[in-house]
């Protein structure tokens, strides 16, 4: 990391098999630091989302290089989303297996995952649909791990996170990934009593440029 200097690390927000996310500070600005685990990350999963994405496939294949690439891939994907003004944490920097990005949350607590959000879901779904259409039809990207766990609700808007596996629309499995994303997210909203029809959502998302 060239210019960014962490003032202090506050606390772990979340810890999983593949990564740990901390809240930290650069000066007075809160940031989120995502550290990718190297020894325990599931290697075969990485391969599936790297091979076939022309932006990233020509790289060395040993474990640590792969994880560093995964980290860079998440950084690049966050950057692309932000360039399209799609809601996602702004990426600040990365180095090896460490990614620094915008912290989503209040002074008191990090933003909740969609599954824990207690506010109104109808407007959130409407916004999520719109964002997914920009993602697919304009930015030409597929999230590929979309679920109520990987959407945070920040200032009442849905924000996409966890985009290491996000692929270019030309990836040979892109359509399969998109259908799975749509299946997962439709299921969540339907369980919450919101009328969502999978095929309708698919047609909307793939319906062409929004602007």
Ligand X SMILES: Nc1ncnc2c1ncn2[C@@H]1O[C@H](COP(=O)(O)OP(=O)(O)O)[C@@H](O)[C@H]1O
Catalytically active residues, by annotation: 145, 162
Q: What's 40's DSSP letter?
A: S
Report the residue number, 80 or 162, with the smaller CB distance to Mg ion: 162
102 versus 202: smaller Cβ distance to ligand X: 102
* Residue 66, helix vs strand vs coil: helix
What is the distance between the alpha carbons of residues 24 and 39, in angstroms, rounded to a whole number?
24
Residue 86 touches ligand X, criterion: CB under 6 A: no
Q: Read off the DSSP letter of residue 111.
A: P
Mark 78-105 as b/e (b = at least 16 C-beta within 10 Å).
Answer: bebbbeeebbbbebbbbeebbbbbbbbb
Residues in contact with 154: Cβ distance below 8 Å, sequence separation at least 6, in sequence order: 87, 104, 105, 111
User: Among ligand X, Mg ion, none, what does residue 113 contact (CB within 5–8 Å per kind)?
Assistant: ligand X
**In angstroms, what CA-CA distances link 182 with 94, 133, 134, 153, 173?**
30, 11, 14, 18, 14
CB 126 within 8 A of CB 133: no
To ligand X, the closest distance from the beta carbon of 111 in angstroms equals: 6
Site string for ligand X, 160-199 (x = CB under 6 A): -xx-------------------------------------
52 touches 116 (CB < 8 A): no
The yes or no reply on residue 22 touching ligand X (CB under 6 A) is no
- The site for Mg ion, by CB under 5 A, has a size of 2
Of all residues in this chain, which one has the CB nearest to Mg ion in the complex?
A: 162
Which range in 58-66, 99-107, 119-127, 180-188 contacts ligand X by CB under 6 A?
A: 99-107
Told to check if 113 binds ligand X by CB under 6 A, we report: yes
Closer to ligand X by Cβ: residue 19 or 186: 19
Choose which of 77, 97, 150, 186 interacts with ligand X (CB under 6 A). 150
Given candidates 18, 53, 74, 162, which one binds Mg ion under the rule CB under 5 A? 162
Number of neighbours of residue 124 by Cβ within 10 angstroms: 20
The single-letter DSSP state of residue 135 is I
**Contact residues for ligand X, defined by CB under 6 A:** 13-14, 16, 18-19, 21, 32, 34, 89, 101-105, 110-111, 113, 149-150, 152, 161-162
Q: Which residues bind Mg ion (CB under 5 A)?
A: 150, 162
């Amino acid at each position: 990391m060239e210019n960014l200097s962490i003032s202090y690390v506050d606390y772990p927000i979340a810890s999983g098999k593949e990564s740990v996310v901390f809240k930290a500070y650069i000066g007075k600005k809160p940031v989120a630091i995502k550290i990718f685990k190297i020894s325990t990350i599931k290697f075969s999963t990485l391969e599936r989302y790297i091979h076939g994405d022309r932006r990233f496939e020509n790289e060395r294949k040993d474990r640590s290089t792969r994880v560093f690439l995964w980290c860079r891939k998440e950084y690049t994907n966050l950057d692309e989303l932000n360039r399209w003004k799609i809601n996602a944490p702004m990426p600040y920097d990365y180095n090896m297996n460490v990614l620094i990005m915008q912290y989503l949350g209040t002074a008191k607590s990090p933003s909740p995952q969609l599954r824990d959000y207690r506010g109104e879901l109808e407007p959130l779904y409407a916004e999520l649909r719109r964002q997914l259409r920009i993602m697919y039809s304009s930015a030409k990207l597929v999230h590929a791990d979309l679920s109520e766990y990987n959407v945070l609700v920040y200032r009442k808007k849905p924000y996409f996170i966890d985009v290491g596996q996000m692929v270019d629309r030309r990836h040979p499995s892109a359509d399969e990934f998109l259908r799975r994303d749509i299946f997962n997210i439709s299921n969540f909203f339907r369980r919450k009593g919101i009328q969502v029809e999978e095929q309708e959502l698919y047609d909307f998302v793939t319906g062409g440029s929004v602007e």
